[in-house]
C-alpha cells in the first residue's frame, strides 16, 4: 500500500542520516582519544587510522540499534506533528497496529545486521585491537620513544624523557630516566647524549655518555650522586612471536559458547551479544506508540520518554550482565527478566493509544485511588470560603 512504501522510504532516509551523525561523533571522539594515547606512546603514529577503524567497529551494535530506534520514532513523530497520521487513519482506514508490519519489514534486515555485528564483527575488532597492542608492546622501546614526551618502558618500570631522538642514527640527546623501586626508593639518571645498541642475544640497551646517577632512598635523606663516563640501560628484550591471550569479549562465538559452560564472565558476554538484536526489535516497535504527539497541545513528552527508555534499556544490559557475573542469574533467565517489562510496556502503550477514547482499567484504578484526596481537597476549599 501507499502508506507502507512512503513510511519505508522515509525510514531509510532517517536511519541513514541518524547513523551517519552518530557514527561520525563516535569516530571523532575515538580519534581524539587515540591521538592523545599516540602522543603518550601507546600507539604507533603510522597506525592511527587502523586503530580508529577497529575501535569504531566495536561500537556498531549500539549505534545501529539507536539509529533504528531514532528512525522509527522521528519519522512517525513527524507524521503526528504534521497531522499526516490522522489523514491515514480517516482516509486510509488503518489503525495504529497497521504500522507494525512496515516497521518490521524495514527493521528485520537491520536487526540481522545488528546480530552479525554483535556476534562476529565487534569481537573480531576487539581481537584485532588486542593483537595490535600486543605486537606494539613487544616492539623495541626505542621505536616508541618520542622527542619531548614522557614515555613508559618495561611495562611502566622505567620512565624516559628524551629531548631529541634520531631513529635512523639510533642516537638520543639530553636523556632523563626515572626508575622507582617497590620499597619507595628511586633511581634517576641524566645524560647529555647516548646511543642505542643491540647485543648478539637480541637484548637492547641505551648507552649513555657523560652523565649523573642519583639514588634517592625512600626517606629522601641520604641522596647518592655518581658521575659516570658510560652507563647502560637495558630495555625490553627483542620481540617474540606468540598468540595473544585474548579477553572474553574478543573471543569468537563458538569459542565463547564452549567457555560459557564453566565461566561466568563468558556467560555475561554471551548475554550481552545475543540481546542486542532483541533490544533492536523491541525498541523499533516501542518507537511506534512513543512517537504519539497531539499537535494541538504542543507538548512533546514522547521525545523525553524515548531518550529515557533507551538509556534505561542500555543500563539494564549492563546491570543484568553484572548480575550474571556475580552468579545471581543465568543467561536465559536474565534475558527474559530484562526484556519482558519492555515488551509489556510496548503492548500497554499500543493498547492505550488504540483505545484512547474509552475507559481504561488503569485510569479507573488511579481515579479510585485519588478519590479520597479529591474529597479532602474539596472540603479544604469549601472551608476556606
Q: Is 80 exceeded by the pLDDT of residue 221?
A: no
| CA separation for the pair 282, 266 (Å, rounded) | 25
Average pLDDT over residues 294-302: 63
pLDDT on residue 374: 64
Backbone angles phi, psi at 297, to 5 degrees: -85, -25
Per-residue pLDDT of 63-103, as tens digits, reads 999 999 999 999 988 888 877 777 766 665 677 788 888 89
pLDDT on residue 153: 66
Per-residue pLDDT of 263-275, as tens digits, reads 899 999 999 999 9
Distance of CA 359 to CAs 49, 86, 356, Å? 59, 21, 8
The answer to whether the Cα torsion of 10, 13, 17, 18 is positive or negative is positive
Average pLDDT over residues 169-177: 78
- Higher-pLDDT residue of 108, 148: 108
Please write down the HEC assignment for all residues of the chain.
Answer: CHHHHHHHHHHHHHHHHHHHHHHHHHHHHHHHHHHHHHHCCCCCHHHHHHHHHHHHHHCHHHHHHHHHHHHHHHHHHHHHHCCHHHHHHHHCCCCHHHHHHHHHHHHHHHHHHHHHHHHHHHHHHHHHHHHHHHHHHCCCHHHHCCECCEEEECCCCEEEEEEEEECCCCEEEEEEEEEECCCCCEEEEEEEEEEEEECCCCCEEEEEEEEEEEEECCCCCCCEEEEEEEEEEECCCCCCCCCCCCCHHHCCHHHHHHHHCCCHHHHHHHHHHHHHHHHHHHHHHHHHHHCCCCCCCCCCHHHHHHHHHHHHHHHHHHHHHHHHHCCCCCHHHHHHHHHHHHHHHHHHHHHHHHCCCCCCHHHHHHHHHHHHHHHHHHHHHHHHC
Per-residue pLDDT of 337-361, as tens digits, reads 999 999 999 998 888 887 765 554 5
- Higher-pLDDT residue of 181, 213: 213
Which are the contacts of 175, defined by CB distance < 8 A and separation ≥ 6? Answer: 160, 161, 162, 163, 189, 190, 191, 192, 193, 194, 206, 208, 211
Average pLDDT over residues 237-252: 58
pLDDT on residue 385: 53
Q: Is 50 exceeded by the pLDDT of residue 239?
A: no
Cell of 176: 632523563
Local confidence band at 61 (pLDDT 50, 70, 90 cut-offs): very high
Local confidence band at 304 (pLDDT 50, 70, 90 cut-offs): confident
Backbone angles phi, psi at 197, to 5 degrees: -130, 145
Lowest-pLDDT choice from 140-154, 216-230, 304-318, 346-360: 140-154
- Higher-pLDDT residue of 112, 99: 112
User: pLDDT above 90 covers what percent of the chain?
Assistant: 26
pLDDT on residue 118: 93
pLDDT on residue 241: 37
Cell of 61: 551494535
pLDDT on residue 297: 60
Cell of 158: 622505567
pLDDT on residue 237: 43
The answer to whether the Cα torsion of 370, 373, 378, 379 is positive or negative is positive
Mean of all residue pLDDT scores within the chain: 80
Q: Is 80 exceeded by the pLDDT of residue 290?
A: yes
Q: Are 324 and 334 spatial neighbours (Cβ–Cβ below 8 Å)?
A: yes
Cell of 81: 506533528
Q: Is 50 exceeded by the pLDDT of residue 207?
A: yes
Average pLDDT over residues 212-222: 81
Local confidence band at 371 (pLDDT 50, 70, 90 cut-offs): low
Local confidence band at 280 (pLDDT 50, 70, 90 cut-offs): very high
pLDDT on residue 116: 95
Pick from 315, 306, 299: nearest CA to 284: 306
Per-residue pLDDT of 156-166, as tens digits, reads 677 777 777 77
pLDDT on residue 222: 78
pLDDT on residue 47: 75
pLDDT on residue 245: 44
What are the domain boundaries of the chain?
2-136+245-363, 141-234
pLDDT on residue 243: 40
Q: Is 80 exceeded by the pLDDT of residue 109?
A: yes
pLDDT on residue 175: 81
Average pLDDT over residues 373-381: 66
Amino acid at each position: 500500500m501507499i502508506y507502507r512504501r512512503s513510511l519505508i522510504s522515509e525510514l531509510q532516509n532517517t536511519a541513514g542520516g541518524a547513523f551517519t551523525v552518530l557514527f561520525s561523533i563516535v569516530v571523532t571522539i575515538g580519534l581524539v582519544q587515540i591521538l592523545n594515547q599516540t602522543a603518550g606512546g601507546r600507539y604507533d603514529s603510522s597506525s592511527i587510522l587502523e586503530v580508529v577503524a577497529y575501535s569504531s567497529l566495536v561500537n556498531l551494535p549500539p549505534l545501529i540499534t539507536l539509529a533504528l530506534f531514532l528512525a522509527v520514532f522521528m519519522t512517525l513523530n513527524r507524521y503526528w506533528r504534521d497531522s499526516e497520521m490522522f489523514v491515514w487513519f480517516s482516509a486510509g482506514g488503518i489503525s495504529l497496529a497497521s504500522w507494525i508490519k512496515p516497521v518490521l519489514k524495514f527493521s528485520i534486515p537491520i536487526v540481522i545486521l545488528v546480530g552479525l555485528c554483535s556476534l562476529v564483527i565487534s569481537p573480531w575488532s576487539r581481537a584485532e585491537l588486542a593483537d595490535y597492542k600486543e605486537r606494539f608492546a613487544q616492539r623495541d622501546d626505542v621505536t616508541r620513544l618520542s622527542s619531548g614526551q614522557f614515555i613508559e618502558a618495561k611495562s611502566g618500570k622505567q620512565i624516559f624523557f628524551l629531548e631529541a631522538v634520531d631513529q635512523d642514527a639510533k642516537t638520543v640527546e639530553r636523556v632523563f630516566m626515572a626508575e622507582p623501586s617497590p620499597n619507595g626508593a628511586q633511581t634517576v639518571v641524566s645524560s647529555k647524549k647516548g646511543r642505542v645498541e643491540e647485543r648478539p642475544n637480541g637484548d637492547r640497551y641505551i648507552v649513555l655518555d657523560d652523565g649523573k646517577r642519583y639514588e634517592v632512598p625512600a626517606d629522601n635523606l641520604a641522596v647518592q650522586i655518581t658521575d659516570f663516563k658510560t652507563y647502560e640501560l637495558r630495555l625490553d628484550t627483542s620481540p617474540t612471536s606468540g598468540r595473544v591471550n585474548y579477553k572474553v569479549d574478543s573471543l569468537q562465538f563458538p569459542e565463547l559458547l564452549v567457555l560459557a559452560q564453566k565461566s561466568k564472565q563468558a556467560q555475561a558476554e554471551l548475554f550481552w551479544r545475543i540481546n542486542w538484536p532483541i533490544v533492536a526489535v523491541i525498541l523499533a516497535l516501542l518507537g511506534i506508540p512513543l512517537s504519539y504527539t497531539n499537535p494541538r497541545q504542543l507538548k512533546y513528552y514522547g521525545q523525553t520518554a524515548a531518550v529515557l527508555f533507551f538509556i534505561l534499556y542500555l543500563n539494564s544490559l549492563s546491570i543484568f550482565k553484572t548480575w550474571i557475573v556475580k552468579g545471581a542469574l543465568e543467561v536465559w533467565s536474565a534475558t527474559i527478566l530484562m526484556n519482558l517489562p519492555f515488551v509489556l510496556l510496548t503492548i500497554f502503550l499500543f493498547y492505550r493509544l488504540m483505545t484512547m477514547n474509552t475507559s481504561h482499567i488503569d485510569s479507573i484504578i488511579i481515579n479510585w485511588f485519588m478519590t479520597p484526596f479529591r474529597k479532602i481537597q474539596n472540603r479544604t476549599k469549601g472551608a476556606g470560603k
